[in-house]
Amino acid sequence: MRNLKLGFIGLGLIGGSIAKAAKKSNPDNIIIAYNRSEKSRILAYNDKVADIVTNKVDEIFHDCDYIFLCTPVEHNISYLRILKDIISENTIITDVGSVKGNIHQAVKELGMEKNFIGGHPMAGSEKTGYENASSSLLENAYYAITPTEKVHTKRVDELYEFVKSTGAIPVIVDFSKHDYAVAGISHVPHLIASSLVNLVRDNDTDDELMKLLAAGGFKDITRIASSSPEMWEQICSTNTENIINLLEKYVDSLKSVIEILSENKFKDINDMFVKSRDYRNSFSSKAHGPIREIYTLYCDIVDESGAILKIAGILAANGISIKNIGIVNNREFENGVLRIEFYDKCVRDEAANFLVSNNYTIYIND
């Protein structure tokens, strides 16, 4: 594809990662970057990711082919208003917000539909900021593209190819359908995880036995409850209707489970688990969704001094990077007591092979 002039408003984890991927895929792309923090601007310039950095949004962005809005949602709309009087008629503005309805509505009200294509890279990390951005962050992650009705299809096609060049998997979808889908597979699950943690907190025994035993499965299914409260307040305030709709359906399904249990219809419980297992097993394992997977193994270890250090040494000697490691305080579903997390499945499986070859017993629950 042609060399592009790309503007970035915001150089955090996502904006920085897209910029790095754009420069890696085509070093001749010109990148202009604005960020309120000087530190991120300097880092991007020193990395040779940004060709030009600036502390204000002005005419320097006039002739960009694409401008990426990579700030929090409420700020993106403010920058949209500023850019309206700056951009050329050929400039396309896109964003990276996880909810599309609000910015599409703002675009329509501003009369900018010919110059806007919404975007949502479904990637992320527990770390934030440009210093944690990576050109590989988007690899195999779905990237939703939500065109307006008035934008030229040629520009949609070009953005599609650009997204592919970053390693992501582009999906063109109507913005309202996008918001409904992410409510179901991301927003509602986060709310459920948070409410489930609070259910245990509010109903624990006096000696906090639930908290003591909360490991393994419970920690896995509620991991996303540790996400940023500020971010999720913002998401819930911008996709409220879809979230309520699906939460009501979920409440109905829970009431159905209560009814089944009350009437001792345990065969129906079996059927429910069969259906959910089969449907979950049909999910693609080739791409990242909006909730990032953690790749974990469990390892039996002897309760003696230096046991963890020995395992870490075996992995380090074979070039295996560990994301996290720690003792599991109960044995809910595994015989071992050491939980090790990795950054991807291939590394996890390689680590398991090394440990097995050193006579360790390994458990993997996929």
For residue range 106-127, what is the model confidence (pLDDT) as tens digits?
Answer: 999 999 999 999 999 998 766 7
Q: pTM here?
A: 0.79
Place of tokens 């950054």: 343
DSSP-H helix ranges across the chain: 13-25, 38-46, 73-84, 101-110, 153-165, 175-182, 188-203, 209-213, 217-221, 229-238, 240-262, 266-281, 307-317, 345-357
Instruction: Report whether 91 contacts 66 (CB < 8 A).
Output: yes
Q: CA 319 to CA 333: how far, in whole Å?
A: 29
Query: If you search the block for the tokens 């006579």, which residue do you land on?
Result: 359
Residue 266: CB partners within 8 Å, gap ≥ 6? 260
The 10 Å Cβ neighbour count of residue 44 is 25
**CB burial readout 244-265, b (16+ within 10 A) else e:** eebbeeeeeeeeeeeebeeeee
Residue 200 · residue 208 · CB < 8 Å:
no
What letter represents residue 339's amino acid?
A: R
Q: What is the pLDDT, as a whole number, of residue 94?
A: 98
pLDDT of the chain, 366 residues: tens digit per residue: 899 999 999 999 999 999 999 999 999 999 999 999 899 999 999 999 999 999 999 999 999 999 999 998 878 999 999 999 999 999 999 999 999 999 999 999 999 999 999 999 998 766 788 998 999 889 889 999 999 999 999 999 999 999 999 999 999 999 999 999 999 999 999 999 999 999 999 999 999 999 888 866 787 788 878 777 888 888 899 999 999 999 999 999 999 999 999 999 999 999 999 999 999 888 776 666 666 667 888 888 776 778 888 898 999 999 998 888 877 655 444 445 788 888 778 899 999 999 999 988 888 866
Token output for 168: 């992501």
d(CA 200, CA 204): 5
pLDDT tens per residue across span 203-223: 999 999 998 888 667 877 888
